[in-house]
Structure 1
Amino acid sequence: MIPRTTCPTLSVAVFVVMTAANLAAEGEVRLLPRTVALQGKDTHHRLLAERYAGESAVGPAEVQLTTDDPEVVRIDGMTVYSVGNGQAVVRVVGASGNEAAVQVTVSGADEPFQWSFRNHVEPVLAKQGCSSGACHGALAGKGGFKLSLRGYDPERDYFNLVELQQGRRVEPAEPASSLMLTKPSMAVPHKGGLRLKTDSWQYRILSEWIAQGVAKPTDQDVRLDRLEIIPERVLLKTESAQPLIVRAHYSDGRVEDVTQLAKFSSSNEAVATVGEDGLTTVIGPGEGAVTAWFSSQIVIARIVVPFEHALDSSVFAAAERRNFIDDNILRQLQRLNLKPSPRCSDEVFIRRVYLDTIGTLPTSAEVREFLADEAADKRDKVIEALFERPEFSDFWTYHWSDLLMLNANSVNPEAVNAFYKWIHERVAQDTPWDQFVREIVASRGSNIEQGATNFYGIHQSPEDMAETVSQAFLGLSIGCAKCHNHPLEKWTNDQYYAFANLFSRVRAKG
């Protein structure tokens, strides 16, 4: 019901409650990911030896990898490289004595890996910033050369890079002489500065792709199904560091380590920063997220850093609980080692509940009456009374009108009034949110008699309808995806227009 659900609830993942004291323990060491498949000559995959306390990742372990068959894989630090076809087992032994192992399968080791423009070249250009909005991904390009923003249009990028101007940017017979390599590596002057080191993995991808004949993107290319990040959630101590691994799962079942091609960012640099290689460094206590972007998809790793002061578990056991929301909040506070705040005073409560529920302050008489009431359930009674006041309906009708962008610029005043009255009636009737949304999206009839239909009068194009529905009812801003793949949300340009197409048959008469 609308009045009973105006307060946002918290969504907290199931996670074993840990404290700073738990992080000091070595715990069980696990080698991640569980299985690895390498295809092609000298391909590689990073591994991560992670300490676990229960089911909670608590930081990397310092270990040395060993392989039972060096003719199948070779090891360099925490990375395994393909040597020959077959299977090998890579092992580590943790400080507590437990052994962890990963099976590595190698195929096609006698043939060079075939690089894809869509799945490898475009990510390199995005990673190095070539297709960013500040460089060649700008609307007008840069220096006479244009790429799609972060590589969302491989076909056009291939044409501009390989075919435009007689293909002067690539030299398949002598890849190292290609402008595509000499410019970003500063072998020739480049206003964008050094973007590509000649001994880097990214340089190798581009040079080998050129040498292989600059294969173009096609409809038969395997597509990226999903991204995976390891670990997805980890508890760390201050001044510690955590490597991250990003893996791409493709439509043909192949899984690749794309950590070196992913772009990383931190949501809260007061908690943790992240380098270009995915190494996350803890700065201070709190909770943050590291986002990895690859080929228009994003994946998030949660970084939890408890405060270091000691708190007895009895503090949380004795804390007041009202409902399941409090249980989730207390679990999160215990995870961060934060003492729960005490229940607010009656004076603070009466002010907050009035402002949040009806948008006005209580009168002095209402405050005195509430403070004088000694009933145990007096707060509940105030809340229920506020739900019945006309100011509640007015206040939340105003909120919904703002969210639905109710204005007289697109429809006449009579229609605006009809839409406002319709919203006000639904709020006053305690209409469930799902029914409220359904009546708007599926509305039909006269815009005067059926006020909800004015939603389609205010938002007249399929794109406007899609963006407003997404923002108002899904909490997602998808406007960026109208022109290119969204850089921050999991929305592509194709998905944007597929969603907008749902509204393409909405018609108005008169």
Structure 2
Amino acid sequence: MRFIPLLAIALLCALDASASDVVVRPERVDLNSPEDSVQVLVETISGGRLVDRTRESKWSIADAAIARVDATGMVTPLANGQTQLVISLDGGDRTIPVHVGGVTQPRPLSFQEEVIPILTKARCNSGGCHGKAEGQNGFKLSVFGFDPRADHDALTKEKRGGRVSLAVPAGSLLLTKGTAMVPHGGGRKLEPAGRRYRRLRRWIAEGARFDVPGRVCTSIRVDPPQRLMGARQDQQLRVIATDSEGNNWCVTAEAEFESNNDVIATVNRRGLVVTTEVPGEAAILVRYMGQVAVSRITRPQPGVVFQRPPEHNFIDKHVWDRLTELGIPPSPLADDATFLRRAHLDTIGTLPTVTETRAFLADKAPDKRDRVVAKLLDRREYAFFWAMKWADVLRVDNAQLKPQATVAITRWLRRQMAENVPFDRFAREILTVRGNTRSETPAAVYSVMKSPEDLARSMSQLFLGVRIECAQCHHHPFEKWGQKDYFALAGFFTGVKRDGRSGGSQKITDGPGSDLKHPRSGLLVPTAGLGSAPITLEDPRDRRRALSDWMTAPENPFFARTIVNR
């Protein structure tokens, strides 16, 4: 059946507070190393929603010897101790506690967890600089820092170790070029004596080691995750990293920010979002250490009197809620002629006949539209039309398949559409099919997609809505998936066997299969679904069945959303 895409809705909660109420986040500042920083947000409640007042506030530290705060609400440490952060706004003061530790005797720095983020923030390892395939001026880094070991070797071993000087850290080429004290094609990337400069200098002074363990970021979240804003308003974002033990720390200064629609809202490198006069929604993409989060900025269309249409089903509620939030009035009901044309083209891919059109226009029954849709879904053309669409998605190609295989899978697709087979069963049969490619099954898919890697990226996009092909070579630039995730998913298809048969057909079967090796480390990557734990198999030939179980499970975060929006 035909699905209407569901829109993800994130409405603001009703707030029963006066406009003078001030909300400060976080409620406590903890700084645990000399280069730590914490972004503080200040918001007030106005018109039933939160409004950012961070840059309107006046900031001070009760004991200026312990910490400092700048005009944007970024707090940094000076000495171990306890003090208070004072926020002045609208004639009143708010205070939150500040704890500083690790300044006098800081823990050693982790190259992977604390140096790589600086190189990424400075865009040293981007595709336009030292991260491109051939590097830049003889210096190559891995794209987005996905290969820390290679990056460490490039910094400490290449050029006879000249990029870092353990004897004179401040004289290291990494620092003198980064601060443009010596000519640098990329210009100044570090502020002399700035926080990031001091962290790199300390790492070099500690021996420029690779093997120092650090807190490993397993996820990030952005605050606020969504915000309703007016024209020419600003909103400071803060980014919080979390490790496997649930510890949180602020990484706003190291995170990268990017707007998917600068026409509606822009964002700078410090995470300050500014809306324009143009209404709509922008997604602010936030990246840190391979993790991704999004803040959705909504700029409603002003001056719209929204008359909410009646709700005929649960989808209508979501649609009307979304249009209300955006300030977009719903389109008027299509007239009968327009409805009939659209219904035919969308459902069976053809126009209505003259006879059908005249009969429909002459029909005065109130349920005539419902009856037309029901009839269209029962027509033979519906199954043919949607089978053709799925054949395109599944890459059913005469140039790669024998005619018998093409006919067989096409007939199978038509039968699935005609019988209105549930999509979870449809997907499961494609994922687990065995048999001859000339039989009326989806087996021919495995003659088109031949390698485990090809199957992984195709099935991921098809049924999960996740494009992971970038992760075959390096960490995905806009998602959290890396090479480990890519080869973990591809491991589900390592047991697929294709035995040749007479007439050019193939018999698809399953062998034991095996985990794939990471292309850089050479270590085996346990087979697993995206973002899931490694699988446990009772029968080593059941890899594809395990994938279908994971993919179609009710708790899978990708499958249902992808199908309903396809």
Q: In structure 1, what is the equivalent of residue 538 of structure 2?
A: none
Change (3 A) 1:70 1:253: farther
Deviations 1:265-297 (A, max 9, x none): 101111101111111111122111111111111
CA contact (8 A) 2:37 2:251 kept: no
2:90 counterpart of 1:79? no
Q: In structure 1, what is the equivalent of residue 423 of structure 2?
A: 433
Q: In structure 1, what is the equivalent of residue 154 of structure 2?
A: 160
Change (3 A) 1:421 1:53: farther
Count of aligned positions: 495
Q: In structure 2, what is the equivalent of residue 36 of structure 1?
A: 29
Q: In structure 2, what is the equivalent of residue 351 of structure 1?
A: 341
1:472-483 matches, within 5 Å, as 472-483=462-473
Aligned residue among 323, 336, 342 for 2:326:
336
Aligned residue among 189, 194, 201 for 1:195:
189
Partner secondary structure for residue 486 of structure 1: coil
CA contact (8 A) 1:289 1:300 kept: yes
TM-superposed deviation, 1:8: 3.1
Partner secondary structure for residue 413 of structure 2: helix
2:240 counterpart of 1:247? yes
2:12 counterpart of 1:11? no
1:358-437 matches, within 5 Å, as 358-437=348-427
Q: In structure 2, what is the equivalent of residue 223 of structure 1?
A: 216
1:267-278 matches, within 5 Å, as 267-278=260-271
Report the Cα distance in structure 2 between the residues aligned to 1:54 and 1:251, rounded to whole angstroms. 39
Instruction: State the AA in 2 paired with 1:403.
Output: V
Instruction: State the AA in 2 paired with 1:211.
Output: A
Aligned residue among 170, 176, 194 for 1:176:
170
1:427-506 matches, within 5 Å, as 427-506=417-496
TM-superposed deviation, 1:53: 5.5
TM-superposed deviation, 1:400: 0.5
Report the Cα distance in structure 2 between the residues aligned to 1:399 and 1:417, rounded to whole angstroms. 15
CA contact (8 A) 1:154 1:217 kept: no
TM-superposed deviation, 1:425: 0.9
Instruction: State the AA in 2 paired with 1:245.
Output: R
Aligned residue among 129, 136, 156 for 1:135:
129
CA contact (8 A) 1:51 1:57 kept: yes
TM-superposed deviation, 1:100: 5.8
CA contact (8 A) 1:426 1:436 kept: yes
Partner secondary structure for residue 291 of structure 1: strand
Report the Cα distance in structure 1 between the residues aligned to 2:232 and 2:242, rounded to whole angstroms. 32
TM-superposed deviation, 1:57: 3.3
Bigger relative contact order (CA 8 A; separation at least 6): 1
2:271 counterpart of 1:291? no
Partner secondary structure for residue 237 of structure 1: coil
Instruction: State the AA in 2 paired with 1:215.
Output: R
TM-superposed deviation, 1:7: 2.0
Instruction: State the AA in 1 paired with 2:226.
Output: R
Pick which of 58-67 and 398-407 moved more: 58-67
Pick which of 329-338 and 271-280 moved more: 329-338
Partner secondary structure for residue 436 of structure 2: coil
Report the Cα distance in structure 2 between the residues aligned to 1:185 and 1:66, rounded to whole angstroms. 29
Report the Cα distance in structure 2 between the residues aligned to 1:103 and 1:402, rounded to whole angstroms. 60
Instruction: State the AA in 2 paired with 1:255.
Output: N
TM-superposed deviation, 1:235: 1.4
Change (3 A) 1:364 1:238: same
Change (3 A) 1:450 1:91: farther
TM-score by length of 2: 0.82
Report the Cα distance in structure 1 between the residues aligned to 2:51 and 2:362, rounded to whole angstroms. 51
CA contact (8 A) 1:415 1:451 kept: no
Change (3 A) 1:171 1:408: same
Aligned residue among 252, 257, 260 for 2:250:
257
Partner secondary structure for residue 507 of structure 1: strand
**RMSD of the alignment, in Å?**
2.5
Partner secondary structure for residue 13 of structure 1: coil
Aligned residue among 201, 209, 214 for 1:207:
201
Q: In structure 2, what is the equivalent of residue 114 of structure 1?
A: 108
Instruction: State the AA in 1 paired with 2:6.
Output: L
1:86-125 matches, within 5 Å, as 87-88=82-83, 90=85, 92=87, 95=90, 102-112=96-106, 114-125=108-119
Partner secondary structure for residue 130 of structure 1: coil
TM-superposed deviation, 1:67: 5.6
Report the Cα distance in structure 2 between the residues aligned to 1:240 and 1:288, rounded to whole angstroms. 14
Report the Cα distance in structure 1 between the residues aligned to 2:33 and 2:187, rounded to whole angstroms. 33
Gaps of 5+ in 1: none
